[in-house]
Amino acid sequence: MIPAIRMADLQGLYRGSSELIEREVIEVLRSGRWVGGDRVAQAERLAADRFHRSHAIGVNSGTDALMIALQVAGVRPGGEVIVPALSFFATAGAVCAIGAIPVIVDVDERGLLDLGAATRAMSPSVQAIVPVHLFGAQAPHPDLGVPVVDDLAQAIGGRPGQGLLGASSTYPTKTWGSAGDGGFIVTDDPTLAAKARALANHGLAGAHLHHAVDGIVGRNSRLDAVQAAVLVAMAPRLDERLARRRAHATRYDRGLPQWVRPLPREPEHPVHHYVVRVSERDRCIQILARHGIETAIYYPRPLHAQPALQGRARLTPCPLAETLCQELLALPVHAGLSEPQIDHVCRVFRSEVR
């Protein structure tokens, strides 16, 4: 009998690296250095390497990573930031949290920032653009005369964005995840890296000496040493997990019926989510659930339909994002799945979801 097929299996992920995780965490606890220290520095080096950047700054969440990266890039209260309509709320929420205004534009057939829509939305008030590397796909690089801050929350293991800065998350369900919230800011610019690190640590410049950074008062947004230890312990098997995700995606591609349309992927795609377009999505979800197969919708509504952003964002027409939000369905693809489980999902699609 095929066991229930979940969208994520954090217990299984822990079991696969439990000895190393426990050793790393216990060493941190015994050290008495629970904030900062060697494990944080090690995790930052690993993040910089993974994103092919010179610098990585650990912070306490992906949302904070994006907020600080935008501030370092020059976004100020009242300024505008272009974001794609198809993304997790934090992409626009981070813009609002620093007092700026999201400009929500449409996406292309892959769910990525539409360069034409971004170009049409440009105005003298736009201070940055945030391409979202959704599901791990490489978003196009907009060259429109303003800083680019890449949202890399789902991009670990893929081809990283080449914006001025990038912001990533280590939420537990990420392919390289911690045991709680965490994130990284990445950049090749040492001056920007120093500014980001200062903003994430109260603008600390010396013992009880705090400076504003480009007029911005810093705050506490540090990656803690325990979460860093978990990331260090998870890192050695990251390539193995990425390879399994890619293999699962290829197996889905071959086994699903033709009417199920996977979103296009480039060869380096890390398959953070395996997402397909289907008609009658609710019916598909119900049938799969009867067979013990979990699914997820990323995302059920575009950003311009979020109540929190009404009156706080500049909206543009986003017809393709609205269509995708009615059709996209994510299937389980985590590294802990077996080939028989992937085949079971494909078999249910072929035999019952017609």
Angle (nearest 5°) at CA 62 between 61 and 65: 90
Task: Break the chain into its structural domains and give their ranges.
Answer: 10-235, 237-351
Predicted local confidence at residue 1, as pLDDT: 60
Q: Are 295 and 329 spatial neighbours (Cβ–Cβ below 8 Å)?
A: yes
What is the rounded average pLDDT of the residues 60-66? 98
Q: Which fold has domain 237-351?
A: Aspartate Aminotransferase, domain 1 (3.90.1150)
Q: Are 293 and 345 spatial neighbours (Cβ–Cβ below 8 Å)?
A: yes
CB atoms within 10 A of CB 31: 13
**Token pair for 340:** 């028989």
Predicted local confidence at residue 261, as pLDDT: 95
Place of tokens 């997402």: 275
What is the rounded average pLDDT of the residues 264-276? 95
How large a percentage of the chain has pLDDT more than 90?
Answer: 96
What is the rounded average pLDDT of the residues 179-208? 97
CATH 3.40.640.10 holds for 10-235: yes
pLDDT surpassing 80 at residue 2: no
Q: Which of 303, 55, 250, 283 is nearest to 166 (CA)?
A: 55
Predicted local confidence at residue 74, as pLDDT: 98
Predicted local confidence at residue 160, as pLDDT: 79
What is the band of 303 on the pLDDT scale with cuts at 50, 70, 90? very high
